[in-house]
A = this chain, B = another copy of it.
Amino acid sequence: MCRSKANEGAALIDRNPMKEKAYVSGVLLGAGLLLYLGRDLLTRSALLTWGLSFAGTTAVGILAMALYRVLAELRASRHELARKEAELNFAFEVQQALFPRQFPSKGGLEFAAVCLPARGISGDYYDVLQLSGGRVAFAVADISGKGISAAILMSNLHAVLRTLARTVWMPGQLCSQLNRHLYEVTQPAAKFATLFYGEWDEADRQLSYVNAGHPLPILLGSGHGRRLDRGGPPLGLFPDSEYQVGKVPLQPGDTLVVYSDGVTEAETPEGESFGEARLETLVAAHREKPLPEIQRAVLLAARDWSGKEIVDDMTLLLAKVTGPPALQ
């Protein structure tokens, strides 16, 4: 993904071979015509002959030297670009290690999640954590902006959330603390993050969640059509935001689709968005399939939709309830 960006510069240059041929032919034709018109002068005047030959040789020497110098500068510039690309690739690996390597196998929820960064490193974030008491927590966040600065804040948010999720048992309070931390470290840069945070308790088969300004997750199954919109403003915007906690009972087979706006706002070259409705229809059509297959289908569809390199980080987390239904 990084590599294709490195070629972006070269692609800016006009490489139309027809135009080049026309240019060369034009120069040669013009030269031939001038020589034909001035043929008498050329053969008669020794001074003109000398002058022309000398001027030609000089021009070739000077142009050749200029070309040599510019080529050397181009090589140096590309070398510097390659160095930066290598650094970004390495940063990408470091960032990848922040994502969970495996998902909790106990707890009655199964997961599939992916983050496709637009620029090698990502401002999006997802995590799945096994907590004490059989609870499982998961989160998807989207840091404002893109690239390196978003990646730095993504790493910060990742660390606070992982640390707090293990000590703060109340999702609302957790988000308030996250918000305060992010507010402290993003002033005066005025950056922020949207976050969906869910905690699943297998004992009562309830999902407690907070939606901090994040695109509304899609629920398929028994709670179909329910909008997971309880919560508060994005994190980091105000010093003392408070967050309400929503609760949803879930049945086996229920599937939750949490995503970043990079998925739904993927645009056709004409500017039409992929949209939530299309995402929902697609997941519903594949609902009986294994989660990794649904994930693949969504990503392929969103990338085909935009028909070009993705311009915003795309994150998709699918969570499906497994196991027997709760006793009535």
The reply on A297 being an interface residue by CB < 8 A is no
The answer to whether A67 and B65 have CB atoms under 8 Å apart is no
Asked whether any CB of chain B lies closer than 8 Å to the CB of A160, the reply is: yes
In the bound complex, do residue B53 and residue A52 qualify as a contact, i.e. CB atoms below 8 Å apart?
yes
Residues of B within 8 A of A66 (CB): 67
Distance A308 CA – B89 CA, assembled complex (angstroms): 28
Whether, in the assembled complex, A13 has its beta carbon less than 8 Å from a beta carbon of chain B, the answer is yes
Is the C-beta of A88 less than 8 angstroms from some C-beta in chain B?
Answer: yes
Chain B residues closer than 8 Å to A148, beta-carbon distance: 87-88, 90-91, 121, 148, 151
Are A98 and B24 touching (Cβ within 8 A)? Answer: no
- In chain A between 161 and 206, which residues have their CB closer than 8 angstroms to a CB of chain B? 162-164, 167, 177, 181, 185-189, 191
Report Cα–Cα, A57/B31, bound state, in Å: 6
A303 at the interface (CB under 8 A from B): no
Roughly how many angstroms separate A121 CA and B91 CA in the complex, as a whole number? 13
Q: Which residues of B contact A95 (CB under 8 A)?
A: 149, 152
Count of this chain's copies in the oligomeric assembly: 2
Establish whether residues A153 and B155, one from each chain, have CB atoms under 8 Å apart when the complex forms.
yes
Contact between B62 and A24, CB atoms less than 8 A apart: yes
Q: Which residue of B lies closest to A59 (CB)?
A: B60
Contacts of A284 on B, CB cut-off 8 Å? Answer: none
Q: Is residue A106 within 8 Å, beta carbon to beta carbon, of the partner chain?
A: no
Q: Is B152 touching A72 in the complex (CB atoms < 8 A)?
A: no
Cβ-based interface call for A239 (8 A): no
The CA of A194 and the CA of B43, in the complex, are separated in Å by 82
What 5 A-B pairs are tightest by C-beta distance, nearest first?
A: A56-B56, A27-B61, A159-B159, A31-B57, A91-B148
A contact residues vs B (CB 8 Å cutoff): 6, 8-10, 12-14, 20, 23-24, 27-28, 31-32, 34-35, 39, 42-43, 46, 49-50, 52-67, 69-74, 76-81, 84, 87-88, 90-91, 93-95, 97-98, 121, 147-149, 151-153, 155-160, 162-164, 167, 177, 181, 185-189, 191
Apart from A13-B69, A56-B57, A63-B64: 18 A-B pairs, beta carbons within 8 A: A13-B72, A24-B62, A27-B62, A28-B57, A31-B57, A35-B57, A42-B46, A60-B63, A63-B63, A67-B70, A73-B74, A84-B84, A94-B153, A98-B156, A153-B155, A155-B156, A156-B158, A160-B160
A-B contacts, 10 of them at CB < 8 A, read A9-B77, A27-B57, A31-B61, A49-B49, A53-B53, A63-B64, A67-B67, A94-B189, A121-B148, A153-B155
